[in-house]
Amino acid sequence: MSEAKTRVYDILAKSFAQEGVKTCFALLGDANMNWAARLAEQGCRMIYVRHEHCAVAAAMAYARKSGDVGVASVTCGPGVTQVITALPAAVRAHLPIVVFAGEAPLKSGWYNQELDQGPLIAATGAAYLQLHMPERMPVAVRDAFLKARRERRPVVIGVPFDLQARPWEGAEKLPKPSRELLPRPSPMPPHPDDVAAAAKLLAGAERIVVFAGLGAVEAGAGPACRALAARTGALLSTTLPARGLFHDDPYCIGISGSFTPEVGLEYLKEADLVVAVGCSLAYHAGGGGQLWPKAKMLQVDIDPVAVSQGQEVARHHLRADARLGVEALTAALPARKQSWRSEAMAARIRDSKPDSHVFDIEPGLLDPREVVEALEKALPHDWEMVNSSGHCSWFFAQMPSRPQEKFLTIREFGAIGNGVSFAMGVAAARPDRQVVLFDGDGSLMMHVQELETIKRHGLKILIIVMNDGAYGSEVHKLRAEGMIEDGSVFGYCDFAGIARGFGLAGRTFKSLAELPKLATEFAASGGAAVWDFHVSDKVVSPTIRRAHPAGKR
């Protein structure tokens, strides 16, 4: 029977299965549906989202959480144009993603969804691979995965759907999967001369901060950083994505960057040396260089830089794997007497509020800082947490007891609207765990349709909304400048009702009294729900207060 003939899409699906793809986020159309159906038959878990952006964004979080390649699929033309916000975010976050996209049929002289997809994808910084030679497609798919893994960036594969439907005329045997073809070099040790120079720098410093990024997390350098800090009497800090790496260390001052708590700001101002480990010294880490005005910077990294994102960031460099570099540095240090640490300092770090500024809050509305404090106490520590975007993310970043391995945030492109997708990616990568998403009302509203996906796929996601009835980031800046608030204040929409409309549980919080009891009850059953906290838009984060001083506010 001719229907039983193997088609090119069969082989394309098998090529993805051969790559070990276990989860794919997709939205179907003519140019990817046959492939997706066949991939599902290969045992791949398909998560069918309601907007293509969310397919790629979920694949990003899946990649970060699983340490594997994230896979998504969209149809040609309008399917592809929908992913243009997600791809630059994946590029900047160095996430390996493969997107199977269709292309318009080659046989037609005219096709309404036809689009020159290559330049569009290239503009995002992702790679675009056109597959137009059926016999070579299995190798081309393998190469796409190789490229994504090696370059740690998204790769979009475009295959015209008339070619996909052709009978397969190539070889039966598939190529070796990409994971078998990657070089596996051992971690890079430092050069002894660099270690000696760095050790001298540390020996001459009195108020050191060891500051770790995701590179330190990936290299397993956490314990080495703690040991270096203990040896030199240093404080510990992290970037936002690496937050929680030192969560239980009494000398950890939290995040250094836009989200630094009060006590951290104070100590960073006095630091005379920052040892940045496995971090790219991006603009927002270090608050654009303002946070540690007196400090020299020693960067320990496999790819050290002097200038990053338009700023001179580091004069001293130790090129090495983060763990090996820090261990060698600790071993090379002379015995040391002075320490920045004291019992009183540990007590201040433990007892001080992230932000103690006093605001006048309207009756009936909550202070976002108190909401976060209550959530920090009430929510179980083994939940996977996902932080989203917006003004509220300052507050949500202040949950110091949560460890790094249970945390995810991806913010390099500064886009709102990704929270639900990232939570779906984490829930897919960690199906045994409860996920909690912390999001803003504006961000959740941008892709609120995914509540239906969460329900349909039974994803265990509790969504906590910090609802200020506004685009907080905008309203606080507009007020500081004395401008009208139109376009930034919308009022409090009924997320609990919206959630119920999608078949999820929903609850509005105008008081925190019942939160501990409800959290315990929810933890016992798990599942998906939306908890909407109505907070005052009078509370302005320290970052906005610094960057946009009161003025007319």
Separation of alpha carbons 301 and 319, rounded Å: 5
C-alpha closest to that of 166 among 126, 205, 144, 137: 137
Separation of alpha carbons 63 and 89, rounded Å: 13
139 touches ligand TPP (CB under 6 A) = no
Separation of alpha carbons 225 and 241, rounded Å: 16
Separation of alpha carbons 531 and 169, rounded Å: 54
Strands of 23-26's sheet in order across: 45-48, 23-26, 70-74, 97-103, 154-160, 127-130
Which residue lies nearer to ligand TPP by CB, 152 or 545?
Answer: 545
DSSP state of 109: S
473 touches ligand TPP (CB under 6 A) = yes
Residues 6+ apart with CB under 8 A from 201: 273, 296, 298, 316
Separation of alpha carbons 235 and 349, rounded Å: 10
440 touches Mg ion (CB under 5 A) = yes
Q: What is the CA radius of gyration of the chain?
A: 25
Give, as ranges, the residues between 380 and 399 that touch ligand TPP (CB under 6 A).
Answer: 390-392
Selected from 301, 321, 441, 532, the binder of Mg ion by CB under 5 A is 441
Which residue lies nearer to Mg ion by CB, 298 or 445?
Answer: 445
Separation of alpha carbons 407 and 409, rounded Å: 7
Give, as ranges, the residues between 468 and 507 that touch Mg ion (CB under 5 A).
Answer: 468, 470, 472
214 touches ligand TPP (CB under 6 A) = no
Using the rule CB under 6 A, give the single segment among 173-181, 218-226, 301-309, 471-479 that binds ligand TPP: 471-479
Separation of alpha carbons 170 and 355, rounded Å: 64
Which residue lies nearer to ligand TPP by CB, 102 or 472?
Answer: 472
> Taking the CB of residue 201, how many other CB atoms lie within 10 A of it?
19
Separation of alpha carbons 83 and 91, rounded Å: 12
Selected from 10, 321, 384, 441, the binder of ligand TPP by CB under 6 A is 441
Using the rule CB under 6 A, give the single segment among 29-37, 209-217, 234-242, 437-445 that binds ligand TPP: 437-445
Q: Number of helices and strands (H, E) in the chain?
A: 23, 20
Least distance from C-beta 444 to ligand TPP, angstroms?
7
Residue type, 20: G
Give, as ranges, the residues between 408 and 427 that touch ligand TPP (CB under 6 A).
Answer: 414-417
Using the rule CB under 6 A, give the single segment among 87-95, 310-318, 327-335, 464-472 that binds ligand TPP: 464-472
Separation of alpha carbons 22 and 429, rounded Å: 10
Which of the choices Mg ion, ligand TPP, none does residue 416 contact, using the CB cut-off of 5 to 8 A by kind? Answer: ligand TPP
474 touches ligand TPP (CB under 6 A) = yes
Least distance from C-beta 441 to ligand TPP, angstroms?
4
Using the rule CB under 5 A, give the single segment among 354-362, 380-388, 449-457, 466-474 that binds Mg ion: 466-474
Which residue lies nearer to ligand TPP by CB, 229 or 371?
Answer: 371
Least distance from C-beta 414 to ligand TPP, angstroms?
5
Using the rule CB under 5 A, give the single segment among 76-84, 275-283, 334-342, 460-468 that binds Mg ion: 460-468
Strand partners, 506: 530
If DSSP codes are grouped into helix, strand and coil, which group holds residue 149? helix
DSSP state of 510: S
Selected from 259, 471, 502, 522, the binder of ligand TPP by CB under 6 A is 471
Which of the choices ligand TPP, Mg ion, none does residue 415 contact, using the CB cut-off of 5 to 8 A by kind? Answer: ligand TPP
Least distance from C-beta 11 to Mg ion, angstroms?
48
Give, as ranges, the residues between 146 and 165 that touch ligand TPP (CB under 6 A).
Answer: none
541 touches ligand TPP (CB under 6 A) = no
Which residue lies nearer to ligand TPP by CB, 328 or 374?
Answer: 374
How many residues interact with ligand TPP (rule CB under 6 A)? Answer: 18
Least distance from C-beta 470 to ligand TPP, angstroms?
5
Instruction: Give DSSP secondary structure letters for 342-398.
Output: -HHHHHHHHHS-S--------TT-B-HHHHHHHHHHHS-TTSEEEE--STTHHHHT-
Which residue lies nearer to Mg ion by CB, 441 or 450?
Answer: 441
How many residues interact with Mg ion (rule CB under 5 A)? Answer: 6
Which residue lies nearer to ligand TPP by CB, 239 or 473?
Answer: 473
Here the tokens at position 367 are 């202070």
Selected from 273, 470, 478, 496, the binder of ligand TPP by CB under 6 A is 470
Residues 6+ apart with CB under 8 A from 127: 121, 144, 147, 151, 153, 154, 155, 156
Which residue lies nearer to ligand TPP by CB, 449 or 520?
Answer: 449
Which residue lies nearer to ligand TPP by CB, 392 or 399?
Answer: 392
Least distance from C-beta 389 to Mg ion, angstroms?
10
Residue with tokens 């329900």: 455
Length of the chain in terms of residues written: 553
Which residue lies nearer to ligand TPP by CB, 154 or 390?
Answer: 390
Whether the Cβ atoms of residue 97 and residue 154 lie closer than 8 Å to each other: yes
Which residue lies nearer to ligand TPP by CB, 82 or 237?
Answer: 82
Using the rule CB under 6 A, give the single segment among 121-129, 225-233, 335-343, 467-475 that binds ligand TPP: 467-475
440 touches ligand TPP (CB under 6 A) = yes
Among left, alpha and beta (phi > 0; psi -120 to 50; other), residue 332 is: alpha
Separation of alpha carbons 285 and 243, rounded Å: 12
Whether the Cβ atoms of residue 299 and residue 234 lie closer than 8 Å to each other: no
Instruction: Give DSSP secondary structure letters for 150-199.
Output: HHTSEEEEEEEHHHHTSBP-S-SSPPPPGGGGS--PPPPPPPHHHHHHHH
Separation of alpha carbons 424 and 214, rounded Å: 21
Which of the choices ligand TPP, Mg ion, none does residue 473 contact, using the CB cut-off of 5 to 8 A by kind? Answer: ligand TPP
Residues that bind ligand TPP (CB under 6 A): 390-392, 414-417, 440-443, 466, 468, 470-474
Where on the chain is the footprint of Mg ion (CB under 5 A)? 440-442, 468, 470, 472
